Amino acid sequence: MKIEEFQFCPKCGAQLSQPSGITPEGALGATTCGNCGLTFQPSELAGGVPPSSAPGGKRNPLALVVAAVIAAAMLYFGVHMARRSEMPTSRISKSSPAPDFTLESLEGKNLRLSDLRGKAVLLNFWATWCGPCKIETPWLVELQNKYGSQGLQVIGVAMDDSGKEDIAKFAKDMGVNYPVLLGKEAVGDAYGGVPALPESFFIGRDGKIVDKIIGLKGKSEIEDSIKAALSTQAGNVSAEVTPVNATQPQN
């Protein structure tokens, strides 16, 4: 009695075009796979199911590739989720105290945010590679000139990996007339991670957040937030402020 079943190539796993027709006692002659060209003896055939799952059979290369892709995807997903879990979860909201920090300026001096208490502060996070920042910076220069005498202090925090010289050149080319500080990741995290640049926080005379703007907005919108910060009254909120743990060189 002849047993007919589908057979698969032991090299590429392709199903042979016709049932093998091999008898239990075996069959003479070699067989050639039409897919990969491998020539093999009937005793080498894997029958019934593809060799990737047949006991003792050779694995299907395609199945190995699929398994590798799935494993890589799972690894990437796991690492990605782990990184996301480490991201800062705090978000700065209006009326909350602005996190205090000390950063080095382009002139090599340390500036502490809380030392500006009594002034309205426009804290601007930016970078030299940020296109919208190049549009916004001249507005900040104009607004510092216009409202500086009323108590406004614009502070620029450079959040990129450019060297101090590149940042200084950018500030000079833009005619920046306010302090530019060398940013630290810890400071950005304290302000919610700074998800986009530019990002500005408007701090009242009492040290509390009045407003924030993410991304490039109109000059008039920035000016309205400056006026809101200037209209606040100075107060003492030092007990509510937690300094940012950012190591800085001491002068």
pLDDT in tens, 222-233: 999 999 999 999
Over residues 56-67, the mean pLDDT reads 61
Q: What is the mean pLDDT of residues 163-167?
A: 93
Give the total residue count for the chain: 251
pLDDT average, residue stretch 29-45 = 66
Is the model's pLDDT at 4 over the cut of 50?
Answer: no
Tell me what the pLDDT averaged over the chain comes to: 77
Q: Provide the token pair at 189.
A: 């995290």
pLDDT, tens digit, for every residue of 121-153?
999 999 999 999 999 999 999 999 999 999 999
DSSP secondary structure string, 33-74? -TTT--EE-GGG-EESS-TTTSTTPPPPHHHHHHHHHHHHHH
203 and 229 in contact (C-beta within 8 Å)?
yes
Q: pLDDT, tens digit, for every residue of 64-102?
A: 666 666 666 555 444 433 443 344 444 677 889 999 999
Domain residue ranges of the chain, discontinuous segments joined by +: 7-85, 102-240
Cβ atoms of 40 and 19 within 8 Å: the answer is no
In terms of DSSP H, where are the helices of the chain? Answer: 61-86, 131-147, 164-173, 185-190, 219-230
The residue that leads in pLDDT, 41 or 225, is 225
Contact between 47 and 31 under an 8 Å Cβ cutoff? The reply is no
Model confidence over 102-113: pLDDT tens digits?
999 999 999 999
pLDDT at 114: 95
The CATH homologous superfamily of the domain defined by 102-240: Glutaredoxin (3.40.30.10)
pLDDT at 5 over 60: no
- Which residues are 203's β-sheet partners? 121, 209
Contacts with 204 (C-beta within 8 Å, 6 or more apart), sequence order: 120, 210, 228, 229, 232
Return the pLDDT at 140: 98
For 85, what's the count of Cα atoms within 13 Å in the CB-facing half-sphere? 6
Residue 24 has pLDDT above 60, yes or no: no
Amino acid type, 123: L
Cα–Cα dist 187/194, whole Å: 9
- What pLDDT sits at residue 94? 82
- How sure is the predictor about 244, in pLDDT bands with cuts at 50, 70 and 90? low
Give yes or no for residue 49 having a pLDDT over 90: no
**How far is it, in rounded angstroms, from Cα 66 to Cα 148?**
63
Instruction: Report the percent of the chain where pLDDT is more than 70.
Output: 60
Which token pair is 240? Answer: 């509510």
Q: Report the half-sphere exposure of 143 (CA within 13 A, side-chain side).
A: 25
- pLDDT for 212 equals 95
